[in-house]
Structure 1
Amino acid sequence: MADKTFVCLSKSKKNNDFCVAGKIIHRHDEGIDVGEWIRPVNESGAITRYDSIYVNSIDSQSLDIITAIFTEPTPDKFQTENYLIDETQYWKKEGVYSSHPDSLRLLCDYPETLWINNHQTSSGKFDQVHPDEVEDLNDSLYFIEVGLITFFTSRWEKQKVKVRAEFIYNEVKYNLKVTDHKWLDYFEDKKVGCYTKPNCFVTVSLALEPFTNASGTFHYKLIAEII
């Protein structure tokens, strides 16, 4: 077992649970050193609300600096960041990371593209990856600066609102499904339509489980966090 401290950069919806991810940090007198990604998982592969609360029953949040107890790495295909938590131990909040753009840039990744840009759904842009293409991938998380985001919301009858977000990264336009629970909750009571937000940073995740639709079977790129 080992305790690890990380900045939470994603707490997104995963069915009735959460997908949590962040970057390991090491604090010292001169500041912090930013390390690798870590995705806490339990035996079922997700994180429940109970898994991710503090001893005072307060919920953990994005940008919290969290110390948790982990038992072993559990990489799964291209999701190499997965690490099994000790479910008997509460997480500990060490503080809150600054949301100032200069501080967030210290956490950023700078991939040339968001994995492989060969496929897209009818409503998205470069939002899916074919199972054959993921065989050579060895990561599933990026934290990037994207600037302006355009949200597109939709709803079918009395179902929950669905949210997509469009942005440009390295001169490529992406349109991806949003699973950030804060933004889903925010738009739940809003009129369906188009909204914009400037100066954004996002965590993008590549889903482990493929999904089959009319165009075939694909892994989906998801916006797990918007700051």
Structure 2
Amino acid sequence: MSAPPSGSVPEQVLSDGAALRVLDVVTIGLSKRVPYNYQTENWLLDASYSPWQKDGQADLEILAALEEHPESLWTNNDKTQTGVNDLVSPEDASSLGTSLTFIRVENVDLKVFTDYGKTKMLARFHHAGTEYALKVTDPVYWESYGQSLGVHQLGESFLTVSLALPFRGYSSKLVAAIIQKAKVHGGSNN
């Protein structure tokens, strides 16, 4: 993350001039841990380490090694009008120790629709026997599907699921990145 107040990761250009993309394996500089509430994974980026160096690209073998197997995506007691198991209450969030997970799901579809004049995108899938419909923030999938209302089947995929900071008291579960297995090259096919 960058320095407060935004904490977001700024757009990066790699040492070869290319834009950073999902699946790129890169060397970056980190200066110190900066956990915040349940977002224990946060690190402050070392601004002096630039540009970032691309070391390769992740394949299925690497993704399978990174895959996590949580029993659930945090707690499943709350939801929005359009989502399913997509919120975490303040009480539940206070006891959490992490805000990110990387999972594999057998099938995911994207539902793109309008709600009160605003386009929304939900990733719908099952994980560990539980149904989820979570907001998508992945810019690649917004660019590809954001203008196409309807349901889009993606098949087996790896998902980075993030727990956002509270808004109106509740923390939203978000699909921050989608990696369709069929689009990943090389490695084993676990």
Would the aligned equivalents of 2:121 and 2:146 in 1 still touch at CA under 8 Å? no
Partner of 2:102 in structure 1?
Answer: 143
Cα separation, partners in 2 of 1:87 and 1:65, compared to 1, 3 Å: same
In structure 2, C-alpha distance between the alignment counterparts of 1:65 and 1:150, rounded to whole Å? 27
Matching of residue 54 in structure 1 with residue 11 in structure 2: no
TM-score (norm 1): 0.73
CA distance in 2, matches of 1:170, 1:88: 42
Larger RCO (CA within 8 A; separation ≥ 6) = 2
Provide the TM-score with structure 2 as the length reference. 0.87
Q: CA deviation at 1:158?
A: 7.8
Aligned partners of 1:156 and 1:220: how far apart in 2? 17
Partner letter of residue 155 of structure 2? Answer: P
Residue matched to 1:226: 178
Residue 82, structure 1, aligned to residue 42, structure 2: yes
| Structural mapping, 1:100-179, within 5 Å | 100=60, 102-155=61-114, 161-179=119-137
Which structure has the highest strand share of the two?
Answer: 1
Paired residues of 1:69 and 1:89 also in contact (CA < 8 A) = yes
Aligned 8 A contact 1:125 1:174 in 2: yes
Q: 1:162, 1:184 within 8 Å by CA — same for their partners in 2? A: no
Q: Using the TM superposition, give the Cα deviation of residue 156 of structure 1 relative to its aligned residue in structure 2, in angstroms.
A: 6.0
Taking the aligned partners of 1:121 and 1:157, their CA distance within structure 2 comes to: 14
Q: Residue type matched to 1:123 in 2?
A: T
Cα distance in 2, alignment partners of residues 132 and 189 from structure 1: 37
CA 1:157/1:169 → structure 2, altered by over 3 Å: closer, same or farther?
closer
Aligned to 2:27: 67
Q: Deviations over 1:47-72 (max 9, x none)?
A: 111xx221333211111111111111
Return the letter of the residue paired with 2:67.
Answer: C
Q: Could you say which residue in structure 1 is the equivalent of 2:58?
A: 97
Whether 2:174 is the aligned partner of 1:207: answer no
Deviation for aligned residue 1:133: 1.1
CA distance in 1, matches of 2:138, 2:77: 25
The percentage of aligned residue pairs carrying the same residue is 32
Secondary structure of the residue aligned to 2:38 is: coil
Question: Where in structure 1 do 4 or more consecutive aligned residues deviate above 3 Å?
Answer: 155-159
Aligned length: 176
Q: Distance in 1 between matches of 2:41 and 2:92?
A: 19
> Can you give the 5+ residue segments of structure 2 that lack an aligned partner in the other structure?
180-190
Matched with 2:155 is 198
Alpha-carbon shift at residue 219 of structure 1 (Å): 0.3
Distance 1:149 1:218 in 2: 25
Q: What are the ranges of 5 or more consecutive residues in structure 1 without an aligned counterpart?
A: 1-40
Aligned-residue CA RMSD (Å): 1.6
The 2-side partners of 1:171 and 1:188 are apart by 28
